[in-house]
Amino acid sequence: MSESKWALATFAGGCFWCMVSPFEEEPGIHQVVSGYTGGHTENPTYKEVCSETTGHYEAVQISFDPEVFPYEKLLEIYWTQIDPTDPGGQFHDRGDSYRTAIFYHDEQQKQAADASKQKLEESGKFNAPIVTRILPAKPFYPAEEYHQKYHKKNPFHYKMYRHGSGREAFIKQHWGESR
């Protein structure tokens, strides 16, 4: 498939290190890139984003073949990786850059994201409101190279971080075995 045929999906789910592996091994996924989006600073650095002055979220941008792996399936994976009821960050990572959001790239993605959020709200799975925002996509800036595929470059530290942050326990409690 030529690169021009790939669709994009962009999700903010707290620490971007933890949002790569759930997607990258799925069929039809071309690439998952860690980065920053949603803010006002061009080409921000990790340090700038962590300073909470850029308006950016830590996010992943996924290039995928929608004929092999539909956007709706990406949404299903996304919801099972986050606490959609937490407005102040994710797990032990606090602050605006760690909030959750779905950044849609076209009207069909917006409609699918809205429908999936409504379905989750109506499911009764959570006792608090779903606060994950659905926003139009803005420029996406890839994070520094050392953040890319962090789980493969630093598997021990990644595993300890994912467990220690509370993410693993939350996923297991709300969705069953860790996905």
DSSP characters over 5-67: G-EEEEEEESSGGGGTHHHHTSTTEEEEEEEEESSS-SS--HHHHHTT-S-PEEEEEEEE-TT
The confidence score (pLDDT) of residue 126 equals: 94
CATH number assigned to the domain covering 3-175: 3.30.1060.10
Structure tokens at 41: 């600073």
Is there a contact between 171 and 99 (Cβ–Cβ < 8 Å)? no
pLDDT at 179: 45
Question: Alpha-carbon dihedral of residues 113, 68, 19, 76, nearest 10 degrees?
Answer: 40
CB 88 within 8 A of CB 94: yes
Based on the residue annotation, tell me whether 15 is a catalytic residue of this protein.
Answer: yes
Q: Which of 15, 18, 102, 171 is catalytic?
A: 15
pLDDT of residue 3: 56
Q: What is the pLDDT of residue 63?
A: 98
Report the sign of the C-alpha dihedral through residues 9, 13, 14, 16, in that order: negative
pLDDT at 60: 98
Domain ranges of the chain: 3-175
φ and ψ of 140, to 5 deg: -110, 130
How high is the mean pLDDT in each 10-residue block of the chain (179 residues)?
A: 78 96 95 98 96 97 97 98 97 96 98 98 94 98 95 93 93 78
The β-bridge partners of 116 are none
Give the whole-angstrom CA distance, residue 39 versus residue 62.
19
Query: In Å, how far are 49, 59, 131 from 95, measured between CA atoms?
Result: 10, 14, 14
pLDDT at position 5 is 84
Is this structure's pTM higher than 0.85? yes
